[in-house]
Structure 1
Amino acid sequence: MSTETQALQRYSLSGATMGTRYSAVLYAAAGLNLQVIRTELQQAVDQVDQQMSTWNPQSDLMQLNAASCGQWLSVPDELMWVLSSAVRISAESEGAFEIGVGALVSACGFGPEKPLSALPGKQPSAREVLDIDPGNGRVRKQMPITLDLNGIAKGFAVDQLARCLERHGITSYLVSIDGEMRVSGVKADGSEWCVALEKPIKGQREVLGSLALSNTSIATSGDYRHWREREGTVFSHTMNPHTGAPLLSELASVSVLCTSCMYADAWATALMVFGVARGAQLAKAKRLSAIFVLRDGDALREVTVGL
C-alpha cells in the first residue's frame, strides 16, 4: 500500500432523490471541499429527476408523453442519451427491455394515477414509434405511446454521480441509489468494495450474500420491493412487453454487473423478463455477469453467469 493511498480519508455524502436517497462513499485527500461536491451530486440527481420522472408532469419525459404525434420536441442531452440507449437495448434484448410500457405500468397502479380495472394490453415498442434525432436534439412520436424510464433512469443517475466525483479527480468511491451501485478503485486499505446482495423477500431486509467489487456497476431487478395484488394474483412492477401484462416468473431477482450502471439496470430488467433459461443464454452471448435468484419452494437457489 502506498503512502498516498494511506493518506486518503473517508467521506460519506447522501441526499434525497427519486422518492429514496442516493449515497456516496469516497476516499480522497484531506481538505476536500465537501459542500461543493455535495451540491454537485444533488444537482446531478435532481437533473435526472427533472428530465425523466413520471411523477412530475412538468418533466421532459412527461412533456414528450403529452406531445402530439408527429410533433418534434427538443430534449436535453441526458434524456436523448437515455432514450437512444433504451431503444438500442430493446433491440439487443429482443424487446425484453421496453420503455413503451408506461400505460401498462400506470394501469397496474405503479404510477401517480389510480390503477385501472382493465389493462391496456400489449403496447407498441418505443423503437418502432420514436424518431430520435440526436444531431438536432429532438424526438417525435409516430403514434401515441406512454414512455416509462424507471428501468434505466436510476442506473443512469448513479453513473452521473460517478461522473461528478471523477470530475473532481476522485477515483475511489461507491455511489448508489437503492440497489443500483457503481464502484471505482479500492478502499484506502487496498481492499475491494464489499457489496451486499439482498434476499428477495417481501417486507424484509436480509443479506443473501456479498460480492467484492472494483471498477464495475451492479443493478438488481426483482419482485420483492414494489408489488401489488390484483384479483388474488401478486405481481411486481416489472412488465412483460411480450404479453402486455405484469411479469409472472419463477425468478425472484436478477443482478447484472457491467461497467455502466445504466446498462446494468436495463439488462437486469431484460433478463428478469426472459427468465433463467433464456436469460442465462443471453447474458453469456452479451458477455454480461449475472446472478439469477429463483424461488425453489421455501428455499432460494442461485444461478450465476460470468462470475
Structure 2
Amino acid sequence: MRKFIIGILILSIIPLYGCAYKRDTEPISKTEYMLGTICTITLYDDKPESVIDKAFNRVKQIEDKMSVNKSGTELDAIAEGSGKKYVKVSDDTFYVLEKGKYYSQQSGGSFDITVGPLVKLWGIGTDHARLPEYKEIQAKRALVNYKDLLLDKKNKKVMLARTGMSLDLGGIAKGYAADEAARVLKENGVKHAIINLGGNVLALNSNPQGKPWKIGVQDPFQSRGNVVASLEVTNKTVVTSGIYERYFKKDGKIYHHILNPFTGYPMDNNLASVTLITNTSINADAMTKNAFYLGINKGLDYINSISGLQGIFITKDKKVYITKGLKDNFKIIDSDYKLMN
C-alpha cells in the first residue's frame, strides 16, 4: 500500500528548471519520504550534501512530534489526555497548535485542526480507507471543535476539552516543516534552493542568475510532472491542496481527503485544486483549506483581503481563476485549460 500512497501523493507544484539559464554550479538534490509524501530539496549553491541532510533532519524532528502516521508522538499524548489533563509539549508543537487554532478561528471552522476523529474514521490515504456510515460520521463530527483546544502558553501545555477528541496537523505541519528547512539552509549559507515537500514548495530567493524561479502548477487530473501552467516566483512559498492528492473510489464516486468539518464528508464543490502564493509556508498551508471551502468567488475575496497573498483556483471542468497580482507572471501552458479572469 505504501507504493500506492506515494503514487497518488503527486507533487502539486513542479519546479520548471529547464535549460533557460546556464548554471555556474551544478545543483545537488536529495529526496526522502517524509510527512506522508515525497520530499525533495535541491541546492543551487556550492554547498555539500550535508547541508541538505541538516534540513531533512529538521523536517524529521517535526515529523516525529506531529505526524499522524507515527505512534508515540506528542499528538498521541494529547489525544490520550483528552478530557482529563493538560499535556506538556515541545516549542515546535505548541507553535504549530497556536497557529492552527488561529487559522481555525479565522476560517470560522472550515479549517479545524481538531478534525482528527474524522480523518481517522475515513482513513483516506491509508490501506483502511472506507466510506463510513452516516451515524459514525455524525458521532465523530461532534468531537470536532477548535474552541475545545485549550492552550497554556506560559507552560507550553495543551488539552483537548472532551474525551475522544484528537488533532490532525496534516493541513499545517508540512508548511512549518518547509519554513524550518528553509531556515536551516539559510543558516548554512544557502542562497538559492527549492524545497519541495509534496504540495508545499518554497523557492529560496531567485535562481542563480538572479531571475525568478519558474514553477509548474500540477494538473490535478494527471500523473506527477504534467503541468497546467507556469508561475514565476522569487523568495515565495507555493502551496496546493487538491482533491486528487489522496482519495479512494466507492461505487464510481471519488472521496478525497479534504474533509468538511461541518458535514463530516469530503468538501463537495466544483474545485479540483487551490494554490496559494505568499511568504510563509505554514500560513499558506492552513489558508488553502479555507479557500477551498469558500469556493471561487468567496475564496478570491478572502485571498484579496489578505496582504501579500495570491491564489490560483482550478475547477473540475478545467477552468482556471487567479488573483490580479498574478496577472504578469502566470501563464497557461495546457490548452485543455482556460484562464477565466
Is TM-score (shorter-chain normalized) higher than 0.5? yes
Q: Report the AA paired with residue 99 of structure 1.
A: I
Task: Report the identity percentage.
Answer: 27
RMSD between superposed Cα atoms in Å: 2.2
TM-score by length of 2: 0.81
Q: How does 1:1-307 map to 2 (within 5 A)?
A: 10-28=27-45, 30=46, 32-35=47-50, 37-110=51-124, 114=128, 115=130, 117-118=132-133, 119-121=136-138, 122-144=141-163, 145-201=165-221, 205-230=225-250, 232-287=252-307, 288-296=309-317, 300-305=318-323, 306-307=325-326
| CA distance in 2 between partners of 1:81 and 1:21 (Å) | 24
| CA distance in 1 between partners of 2:169 and 2:89 (Å) | 14
Q: CA 1:66/1:111 → structure 2, altered by over 3 Å: closer, same or farther?
A: farther
The corresponding residue for 2:18 is: none
Q: CA 1:231/1:106 → structure 2, altered by over 3 Å: closer, same or farther?
A: farther
Q: CA 1:109/1:63 → structure 2, altered by over 3 Å: closer, same or farther?
A: same
- TM-superposed CA distance for 1:113, in Å, is 7.7
| CA distance in 2 between partners of 1:93 and 1:42 (Å) | 31
Counting matched residue pairs gives 297
Tell me the SS of whatever aligns to 1:21: strand
Q: Greater relative contact order: 1 or 2 (C-alpha under 8 angstroms, separation 6 or more)?
A: 2
Contact map agreement 1:100 1:148 (CA 8 A) in 2: yes
Contact map agreement 2:112 2:144 (CA 8 A) in 1: yes
| CA distance in 1 between partners of 2:142 and 2:259 (Å) | 11
- TM-superposed CA distance for 1:10, in Å, is 3.0
Contact map agreement 1:221 1:255 (CA 8 A) in 2: yes
- TM-superposed CA distance for 1:199, in Å, is 0.9
| CA distance in 2 between partners of 1:127 and 1:19 (Å) | 24
Tell me the SS of whatever aligns to 2:315: strand
Structure 2 gaps of 5+ residues are 1-22, 327-341
Q: CA 1:157/1:46 → structure 2, altered by over 3 Å: closer, same or farther?
A: same
TM-score by length of 1: 0.89
Structure 1 gaps of 5+ residues are 1-5
| CA distance in 2 between partners of 1:128 and 1:254 (Å) | 26
Contact map agreement 2:41 2:52 (CA 8 A) in 1: no
- TM-superposed CA distance for 1:186, in Å, is 1.4
